[in-house]
Structure formats: C-alpha cells, structure tokens
Structure 1
Amino acid sequence: MKKIHIIALSMILVLAYNCKDGKKTEKEGKDATDQPVEKIVEEVNVEVIKFSMQPKSDSNVQGEVVFTEENGMVMMKATLSGLSAGEHAIHIHEKADCSSDDGKSSGGHWNPTHEPHGKWGAAEGYHKGDIGNFTADTEGNAIVEFSTDQWCIGCDDANKNILGKAVIVHQGVDDFTSQPSGAAGARVSCTGIIE
C-alpha cells in the first residue's frame, strides 16, 4: 500500500512540475509576442506635374499633359482633343516658351546629348525629346502614354531634367529620318514644362 502512495505522489509531483514548466513556456511565448514589432516602411517619392496644352498655328488642339516620376521612372500621359484624325508627332522641345503663335519659340527638339534625330531607342541615335507618333481617333481625340528612366523631374542631371522644356504636338507624322526634326510639320499645340 505504501508503494502505491509513493507512486501516486511521484506522479502528482511530475504533473505539477510539467504544468509549472508549461506555464513558464506559455509566459515566455507571451512575452515574446508582446515585444514591439519593428516595421520597415519604404519611402517612395512621387513627383507629379500637370500642364494644359495651348492651341498653336490656328489649330484647336488642346489638352493636358501629366508627368509622374516614381522609383526613377517618368511617365507622361497626354490627353488631347481638336486634332485631325490620324497620326501626329509629339516631342519635347528645348525651351518652356509657348509665346509665339506658331510654337517656334520653344526651339528645336530637346537634345542634350547632341545625337541625330531618330526613333526613340534607335542604335543610330535619337534626341531625349523624340517621343514619336500617336494616332487620333475620328473625333480628333488621343491619349499618349510614354515612360522612361532617361528623364527626371527637377534632378541635377541636365541630360535628364525635363523642367524648363516644352511639349509640342505636330500636325504631321515624324518620319524618324529627316534632320533635325523628322519633318513633322506645323506645331499645333504647346505647353511649357516649368516648376
């Protein structure tokens, strides 16, 4: 009978010890989860500038251009109306000056690297302002979207900074070969990209 009591007492002590140890582990786990969690937040700088297009050369072409810079990429979205149906060229020109009636006050294509005019990305060379052609629908509306890491908004790199330039829409199509501008015809809309 004594042996049974000793065995029973031993089992009670083992159970009591295990319960105590379990509570300790539970408490340690609770303490671990109560610790503050450090959150890593990545800061993303987004720069957005928006401008209205002004009709030039007796046209009715107007609209809005939005430039957005995020993570080293600049996205351009131009929403245009008043165009003739079909293809037209769009470029960035060297001066944010739309004061003349024909838009020529904006100068030539923006070309800080002194390359020949061409299609964007061409191995033979192209201007930083050589965006290319787009198509207006039968009602004269168009949306042009373009993005590149070769532009920036307000950075210190003169070869990339688009501030102080102009967006020009042309009546005709850029042939990508005629120098220095692709023979795209009259400048029918202009906006200056200024701070």
Structure 2
Amino acid sequence: MVRIRTACATLALVGATVGVASIPAGAAPAAGAQSTTRATACPTGWGSLAKTDTGATVAPLTNVRTGRHTCFDRMVLDVPGAGSGVGYRVQYVDRLYQDGSGRQIAVAGGAVIEVRVFAPAYDPETGAATYPGRVARPLPGVDLTGYRTFRDTRFAGSFEGETQIGLGVRARLPFRVQQLDDRVIVDVAHSWTATG
C-alpha cells in the first residue's frame, strides 16, 4: 500500500513538472500567478570614462541612426569608404560647446555624451554637405520615442575634418564604442547592473 502511494505521488510530481515545462516561454502567466521570467544577462565593465581612437579619414559622414536593444541603446555613425580607419572621441561632458564658435548647444537629458568622429560631414573637395544635420537641431531621421536610455540628439557641426554630435541620455551610464568597417558604434547601457 505504501509503495502504491509513493508511486502515485511520484507520477503526480512528474506529471506536474512535465506540464510546467511544456508552457511556452513567451506565454503570459495566469491571473494571480507569479512570473518566472528571468532577467537578461547584460555585458558589464564598460565604464563611463572617455574612449578614443586616433584614426582619421577624409571619407565623409553620411548618416547617423539609432536602435534599441535589450541591454543598451545604440547610435551608429556611417562613414562609407573609411574602412576601419574612422577615429573618434566619445566622452561625458558637462555642456556641449560647438568647435570653432564655442557656442553652447543645449542637449536634453540627465547627462550629455559628446560623440566626435574624425571624419567631416562634407565632401572635402567640394565643401558640399554629405550629412543633412543642422547645428543645434535634432539629428534628421532619428526618433527616440520608446528608448530607455537615449533622450536627445543634437548636431553640433563639422569643423576641420571632425564632426561633433551631442547625445542626451537618462543618466551617466556605462558605454562602449566599437569601430567596424565604415562605421563607429556607440552603445549606452540601460543600467549599471548586469541585467536588462
């Protein structure tokens, strides 16, 4: 009799476990049930200090775009024809000042990142603009609605072969910079913790 009860209890536990395991990961829990969704593991160790690469190119900046990811918001600066030679300096600043004029450009957010690429936003031979940004205005085509970290973008201009952009973020958060063929990528984390 004890063996039968033990066998029935074991079968009930196995059946319950199989039943729980077969629920799809994206399924919503029943009303009143606790969610078992786990936090996403995010990269750590980026820090918030300035990041620099001294490369330079005459290939001009043509586009700036952004994207949302699980652990970070991303800005991509496209410099076609530059290969992996695009230099940059990305750093937190108290205020954004335009190169050449010294004009202060207001950038909304709890903190401001100055993104500087060592590439012009104009054709060096003709002087014609290759990027349609207007000084002190938001970046054209960039909509930050729904972003967790990014709050504002401002074009600060292009001076002596360098292009300057202000990126307003929610708070001073860790970031990384990657240099890939024809682009510079700036990722700003959603938080200081290792979960998204």
Fold in common (TM above 0.5): no
TM-score scaled to structure 1, two decimals? 0.32
TM (norm. structure 2) is 0.32
Name the larger-Rg structure.
1
More helix by share: 1
Task: Select the structure with the greater relative contact order (CA < 8 A; seq sep ≥ 6).
Answer: 2
